[in-house]
Amino acid sequence: MKNTTQGWMNGFIGVVIFAGSLPATRLAVMGFDPLFLTGTRATLAALLAIAVLIIFKQHPPTKADLPALSIVALGVVIGFPLLSALALQHVTSAHAIVFLGILPLFTAIFAVWRGDERPPALFWLFALLGSTFVAGYAAMSSSHTPLLGGLLMLGAVIACALGYAEGARLSRTLGSWQVISWALVLSLPMLLPVTWLTWPKTFTGINIAAWAGLFYVSLFSMFIGFLFWYRGLALGGIAAVGQLQLLQPFMGLMLAAGLLHETVSLGMVISTLGALACVLGAKKFAV
């Protein structure tokens, strides 16, 4: 049974945490190879997840849960971190962040496909309108975005949306923090060797900002954020609560402005207000 208030509150906390992911990744790739970053962030998060699973004496998932956990792992543990890190070698964090504006729409689509949700027509109207606000801002601010960087971010968004929808669906039976924990554990045999093989010859010259970025994406983006996000999606509905992601690009841009000294424009403010209105509309007509 849905608990809308708790769902939206948990979802909002998750979005706030995720908003720092791309700026932190941008900082991290200034010092680390994208493959090393992808392997290391997941490995560190997996070690934390193993400790939590042992402390709370969790039983392993069933064989029936493994296909869904594999999709979660491929989407949010491997796909999005790797593709976004590669993209951030070609585009700024501000350009990458605006691609997240289409993430709620893809999440809603996968919610229909994988989560058996059926939002009403007015919900889709606000979802499309909100994506249009963000896409419009992206078109105005990212006219010189390299094609490869854009394609990599598009792939990252699709992988992420599928992992969100599948993880939220599984959270209803397995539990929110258990889903991301077991997905990380499932990924460990693949990503631990990646970390080992891409281990830098020296860490000399890697500044504190890159280390801070690695710490943030490993602890918050890869684990803590999902504790709130999957719980929010499971309680409030994948398609509905997923619309909160419309706010993530603008939260991320504000962080990018503060951390990376990028400009916050009037267009961003206008688009933020439009997206916020669409989030409220989608919430009203989600059920």
Quick check: 231 and 10 in contact, CB under 8 A? yes
Give the pLDDT score at 66: 96
Provide the pLDDT for residue 84.
92
Per-residue pLDDT of the chain (287 residues; tens, 9 = 90+): 456 889 999 999 999 999 999 889 989 999 999 999 999 999 999 999 999 999 999 999 999 999 999 999 999 999 999 999 999 888 877 777 777 877 888 888 898 888 778 888 888 888 888 778 766 766 666 555 677 888 898 899 999 999 999 999 999 899 989 999 999 999 999 999 999 999 999 999 999 999 999 999 999 999 999 999 999 998 998 888 888 887 887 787 778 777 767 666 677 667 767 777 887 787 777 65
Token pair 């924990």: residue: 181
Range of the domain at 25: 4-284
pTM over 0.95: no
**Cα dihedral: 2, 228, 134, 266 (round 10):** 120
Distances (CA, A) of 139 to 1, 161, 283: 39, 21, 26
How many structural domains is the chain composed of? 1
Contact predicate 20/252, CB 8 Å: yes
DSSP labels, the chain:
---HHHHHHHHHHHHHHHHTHHHHHHHHHTTS-HHHHHHHHHHHHHHHHHHHHHHTTPPPPPGGGHHHHHHHIIIIIIIHHHHHHHHTTTS-HHHHHHGGGGHHHHHHHHHHHHS-----HHHHHHHHHHHHHHHHHHHHH-TT--HHHHHHHHHHHHHHHHHHHHHHHHHHHH-HHHHHHHHHHHHHHHHHHHHHHT--S--TT--HHHHHHHHHIIIIIIIIHHHHHHHHHHHH-HHHHGGGGGGHHHHHHHHHHHHH-----HHHHHHHHHHHHHHHHHHHT--
pLDDT value of position 275: 74
Phi, psi (5° rounding) for residue 25? -65, -40
